Structure 1
Amino acid sequence: MSERALSSLTGPVVLVGAGKMGGAMLEGWLKLGLPARLAVAIDPNLPDEPAGALKAKGVDVNPPAHAIATPSVLLLAVKPQVAPDVLSRVAPLVGPNTLVVSVMAGRTLGFIADAMPAGTAIVRSIPNTPAAIGRGVTVAVANGAVTADGRALASALLGAIGIVEWIDDEDLMDAATAVSGSGPAYAFLLAEALAEAGAKAGLPAELSARIARATVSGAGALMDQSDLPAATLRQNVTSPGGTTAAALAVLMDEAGGFGPLLADAVAAATRRGKELAG
C-alpha cells in the first residue's frame, strides 16, 4: 500500500527542512518508490555535501518558489521555533488538494491551520529519534479535512521511518509524545544508569558501559521480535528467589520504584508539552 500511495502521486512531495529527521524521511520515500522527479527539498541551511547528494539522485533542492508545482504533499520538518516564519513563506504553495503533514513538536493543528488556506487538510505527527535508522514510532492526528486517502498517504510517508499509530483526539498528543517522543531518552538513561551501577558494584567502568549498552539494546531487539507482552518477557527471565527477583523487588517497589518514578516522569513531560503548545 505504501509503495502504491507514493508512486501514484502526480504532484510533488515538498519537504520543508531536510535535516536529520527530514533527510531520513526523504531517503525512506525514495526507497519506497517515490520518483525522484516528484521530490523537492527546501532547506536554505542544508550543507553543500548532502544537497549535492540529493541533487545527484534527481531531487530538486531549493528551487525558486515560482518553479515549484502545486504539491500533493507539503511536509513540515523544521524546528518549532522557526515555524511562524517558515509557514508564512510556504503557505502560498498549498493548493486545494495539498495534504500538509507536520513533524514539528508542539505545533498544533490549529496553529498550522491558521497559517494555511482555509480548509487545508493537515496531519500533525511526532516521530522519535530511532526514525534515523528506520525504527521510529510516529503518532499522528488529522484534522477534519483529511480524507481516508489522505490518511493513507500520510501513513505511507510517515511509515518510511517506522511504524505509525493514529489517534483521534489531539489532546492525547502530549501524552503520546511523553511516551514515544521522549521515550528513547528514558532507554538511553537506563543504559547509562545500569553502567554506573555496575561500576559501583566493582566492574571496570568501560566493561560495565559495554555490557549495559548491549544488554539494553539486546533486550529491546528481543522484545521487538517477540509476540509476548513485556510483562511476560520480564517474568521469563525472573527465577523465584534468584538475583533478578532481588533486583526487581527494589525496582518494582510500589512507593518509590521504577513504575511510579516513570509515571511521574511521563506526567511531567506531558505537562511541559501542554505548556509549550500553549
Structure 2
Amino acid sequence: MALFDKTIGFIGGGQMAEALIRGLLEAGLVAADRLLVIEPDSRRMDDLQTRYGIVGMQEPAAFASACSVIVLAVKPQLAEVVLRQYRSLLSGEHLVLSVMAGVRLQTLAEGLEHPVRLIRVMPNTPALVLAGASAFSTDLRSTQEDRDIAAAMFSAVGICVEVEEYHLDAVTGLSGSGPGYLLTIVEAMIDGGVLVGLPRPVAEQLVLQTVAGTARLAMATGEHPAVLKGKVTSPGGTTIAGLRVLEKGALRGQVMEAVAAATKRSRELGNEG
C-alpha cells in the first residue's frame, strides 16, 4: 500500500530507522519530505538529511503534531525516558510502532497519558540491507489499516508477518538472534576451508555465496530443506560424510537449544522491564 498521505516520524535516527527510511524511499511508498526524524546527535541527523532528503526536527511537541505514524526506534534502555518525554504529546490520532526489543505493548500503553494505537515489531539486522525478517503484534485499538501500514513499512526492508504478542519472544529467539547463529556457522565453515588449504579470502567468498545461494534456492523452490538436502547428498559421497560428522556433534540439537535459550532470555528481559 502507498503511504503518500501519511507523515512518518522516527524517534531515533539509528541503523534501524535508516533501514526503514531507505526501504520506504526505494519502494516509493512515501516522499522524503514526509519522513521526519528527531535525533540528538547533530552529525547523525545531518548525515540522514544529506543522504535521504528527510526532515530533521528538534522539538518533540512540533514533531508529534506533524506526524500521524511514529516509530520508536531507540534502544530499549531509553524506553522510560522517551515515554516520559512524549507521554502527553501522543493521542488516539497517532499510530505508534515500537522496535524496542522486549518492551511490551502494556508497558508502552501505561507509559502514555492518552490511549494510542500501538504496534510492537521485532525486526532483525538484515533489514539494514533490505533483507530482514520482521514480525509484529498489535494492541486492541489498532485497525486493519494500521496493520496494513506496519506490514507495508517492514515489508520494504524484507519480509513481515503478524503474530500474537506472546510469540514475539520466540521470534526474538529465532529470527532476531538468528543472524548470530548463522554467522557462527559461516565463520566455522570459512575456518574449515582454511583448514583444508584454501586461502582465507577464497574461503570467505565461497562460503558467503554458498549461504546466500542456498537461501535463495530454498525460497525460490519452496521445497522443504530436507528435500533440498537430499538432492545434494549422494550415496557414499562427500556431503553425507560431512553430515555424519555434524550429526555426531548434535548440531541440529544444539541449534534448537540455542533458539530455546534465546527465547527464554527474551522473556526474562521483558519481565525485568
TM, length-normalised to structure 2: 0.91
8 Å contact from structure 2 (residues 49, 55) kept in 1:
no
Aligned residue number for residue 97 of structure 1 = 93
8 Å contact from structure 2 (residues 91, 114) kept in 1:
no
Are residue 53 (structure 1) and residue 50 (structure 2) matched?
yes
Aligned residue number for residue 87 of structure 1 = 83
Aligned residue number for residue 256 of structure 2 = 263
Aligned residue number for residue 196 of structure 1 = 191
Are residue 21 (structure 1) and residue 16 (structure 2) matched?
yes
8 Å contact from structure 2 (residues 169, 266) kept in 1:
yes
How many angstroms does 1:73 deviate by?
0.8
Match of 1:76 among 62, 72, 77: 72
- Per-residue CA deviation, residues 120-178 of structure 1 (Å, 9 max, x unaligned), is 2111111111101111110111111111111111111222211111112x221111111
**Percentage identity across aligned positions?**
34
8 Å contact from structure 1 (residues 71, 95) kept in 2:
no
Provide the rounded CA distance (Å) in 1 between the counterparts of 2:256 and 2:42. 39
Aligned residue number for residue 269 of structure 2 = 276
Aligned residue number for residue 123 of structure 2 = 127
Amino acid of the structure 1 residue aligned with 2:252: G
Aligned residue number for residue 8 of structure 1 = 5
The count of residues paired between Structure 1 and Structure 2 equals 268
Aligned residue number for residue 212 of structure 1 = 207
Change (3 A) 1:88 1:240: same
SS in 1 for 2:136: strand
Amino acid of the structure 2 residue aligned with 1:72: S
How many angstroms does 1:70 deviate by?
4.8
- Per-residue CA deviation, residues 86-116 of structure 1 (Å, 9 max, x unaligned), is 1211233312121110111111111111112
Aligned residue number for residue 112 of structure 1 = 108
How many angstroms does 1:46 deviate by?
4.8
Matches within 5 A, 1:130-145: 130-145=126-141
Unaligned 5+ residue runs, structure 2?
Answer: none
8 Å contact from structure 1 (residues 19, 46) kept in 2:
no
How many angstroms does 1:233 deviate by?
1.3
Are residue 236 (structure 1) and residue 202 (structure 2) matched?
no
Provide the rounded CA distance (Å) in 1 between the counterparts of 2:48 and 2:161. 31
Provide the rounded CA distance (Å) in 2 between the counterparts of 1:209 and 1:8. 45
Change (3 A) 1:210 1:124: same
SS in 2 for 1:268: helix
8 Å contact from structure 2 (residues 234, 240) kept in 1:
yes
Provide the rounded CA distance (Å) in 2 between the counterparts of 1:220 and 1:46. 39
Aligned residue number for residue 152 of structure 2 = 156
Amino acid of the structure 2 residue aligned with 1:163: I
TM, length-normalised to structure 1: 0.89
SS in 1 for 2:71: strand
8 Å contact from structure 1 (residues 174, 274) kept in 2:
yes
Provide the rounded CA distance (Å) in 2 between the counterparts of 1:103 and 1:110. 14
Question: What's the RMSD between the two structures over aligned residues?
Answer: 1.9
8 Å contact from structure 2 (residues 88, 114) kept in 1:
no
How many angstroms does 1:17 deviate by?
1.0
Change (3 A) 1:46 1:29: farther
Provide the rounded CA distance (Å) in 1 between the counterparts of 2:25 and 2:201. 40
Unaligned 5+ residue runs, structure 1?
Answer: none
- Per-residue CA deviation, residues 16-73 of structure 1 (Å, 9 max, x unaligned), is 111111011012223323133322101112525414415x72x220232343325211
Provide the rounded CA distance (Å) in 2 between the counterparts of 1:197 and 1:13. 46
Change (3 A) 1:111 1:197: same
How many angstroms does 1:273 deviate by?
0.6
8 Å contact from structure 2 (residues 135, 162) kept in 1:
yes
Aligned residue number for residue 245 of structure 1 = 240
